[in-house]
Amino acid sequence: MEEKKKIIRKKAKVLKDQCVACGTCEAECPIEAIKVVAGVFAEVDEGRCVGCSKCEKVCPASIIEIIEKEVVK
Ligand code: SF4
Ligand code: SF4
């Protein structure tokens, strides 16, 4: 059986309860990995996000952080 590898990847994380749904992060993400859901809060597609931190820098509420996540490949 093939062995699975654990890899650490950077991902954006949104504090959803503090999100004002302004859409700035969605507009700035170069690969459409963050979207405002139903006009309520932004959600990160962790499968797409490459942790570039663009969204973190532009969020006017400063509620996006870049975290390290373990991904199994
Ligand atoms: S960290 Fe980069 S790739 Fe990930 S959601 Fe933010 S802008 Fe998009
Ligand atoms: S930029 Fe910040 S406040 Fe605006 S939608 Fe994205 S996470 Fe929410």
Does residue 43 form part of some domain? yes
Tens of pLDDT, residue by residue over 12-71, are 999 999 999 999 999 999 999 999 999 999 999 999 999 999 999 999 999 999 999 998
Which atom of ligand 1 is the closest one to the Cα of 29?
7
Question: Which ligand gives the minimal distance to the CA of 47?
Answer: 1
User: Residues 67, 13: contact at Cβ < 8 Å?
Assistant: yes
Parent domain of 10: 6-72
Does residue 61 form part of some domain? yes
Q: What pLDDT score was predicted for residue 17? A: 97
Q: Which two tokens stand for residue 9?
A: 């990847």
Ligand 1: does its nearest atom lie under 6 Å from the Cβ of 29? yes
Q: What pLDDT score was predicted for residue 14? A: 98
Ligand 1 atom 1, closest CA? 51
Distance (Å, rounded) from C-alpha 59 to C-alpha 48?
A: 19
How many domains is the chain partitioned into structurally?
Answer: 1
Nearest CA-CA partner of 61 in 36, 38, 31: 36
Ligand 1 atom 8, closest CA? 29
Q: Which two tokens stand for residue 7?
A: 């890899």
- What global pTM score does this model have? 0.92
Does residue 1 form part of some domain? no
